[in-house]
Amino acid sequence: MSRPITIEDVRVILTQPGSARLAVVKVITSEPGLHGVGCATFTQRIHAVAAAIEHHLKPFLLGRDVARIEEIWQMSMVHGYWRNGPVLNNAISGVDQALWDIKGKRANMPVYDLLGGKCREAANVYVHADGPTPSDVADRVKSSMDDGYRYVRVQQGMYGGNTETFVQPEGAPPGAYFDPKRYRRDTLTMLEHVRAEVGDDVELLHDVHERLHPADAISFAKAVEPIGLYFLEDLLAPEDLAWFERVRAACSTPLAMGELFNHPSEWQTVAEQKLVDFLRMHVSQMGGITPARKAADLAHRHGLRTAWHGPADTSPVGHAANLHLDLWAPAFGIQEWYQPSDLDRTVFPGLPEVRNGYLYPNDAPGLGIDVDEALAAEYPIVDGVEQWTQTRLPDGSPVRP
């Protein structure tokens, strides 16, 4: 019997070629020239993830057989005793995706073939259109349509809407203030205007970003029902999952949920009880490809579809992993796409490409993407205190972002 190929080193590559701090894991093997890459990006707590990999996962992983992905994932998850938190999940995800990348390279097959082969040649994607007024948003949707996109997420003033004109208490602390009532009113007006301007040939999406009290969220979901959204995203927070049953009773607006989920019981609950229509977990947040493929099977069994989280603070490696899941999963729905820069494509050679609204792989073995470490080092991460997650109501009360 031939000797197994083992993990010889685990590197954490921190880089910021764009607006977001990114963490990429590189697993070096005992086979000369064979390595894999994975996404471990938790941009708001990136140093905690890097420390978890460097000081805890790496010593645990050295010398292990790279072929044993499932066993490594399971043991990594329980080895720290406490589990299913975002820092550890992202750390494990980086290693997990890298091991799938290695397995594909060893087999000379793309990861989607290892999962069972393609169900489709490319993945429909949606992009973002934001603006200060309904007319601005409509114009940006039209621009996206001109670029070949058929699915567009629309926001006015990003999460929570515009915040210039409400009264704050004297001495109110700084923060990302928003008025929930004004947000509901302005967003409904914007959605009605955009639908009237662009017609029904483009699918519109909107992200509430858990900004509403559950009772107000139900009212809002019912109010937007006539607009015919492809889905309404993160209408409620994970802490408020029980309210989804009341949303279902009130309206038929399609619902997407999951980017903040860490624990399998969260996505199992909404799938098994059919409380939402799309599962859209952040693949590195949930622990990588190994749990994501199981969640995709769960979605298929219960009549849901996938819509993996794909913002700019997912690394290009993470976007490649999303695409392999998209191409394979029978229950695929849509993929969020962040429209990478030319610099992103240089730092991360092999990044998937969009043509006429579809995201295509490059069909190289493994994940088909790599990281130029020398170039990545030229764009070090910039530390700072996040502002947009310091969310407050008009009276200054802290709320979930």
Kindly list the catalytic residues: 159, 209
Token pair listed for 127: 């992009």
3-state secondary structure of 167: coil
Structure letter (DSSP) for residue 45: G
Of 373, 320, 375, give the one whose Cα is nearest residue 343: 375
β partners of residue 125: 335
**Angle, helices 180-198/214-223, rounded to nearest 10 degrees:** 20
Q: Measured between alpha carbons, how far is 79 from 95 in angstroms, rounded to an integer?
A: 15
Q: Measured between alpha carbons, how far is 372 from 58 in angstroms, rounded to an integer?
A: 21
3-state secondary structure 211-280: CCCHHHHHHHHHHCHHHCCCEEECCCCHHHHHHHHHHHHHCCCCEEECCCCCCHHHHHHHHHCCCCCEEC
Q: Which helix (H) or strand (E) holds 327?
A: helix 316-328
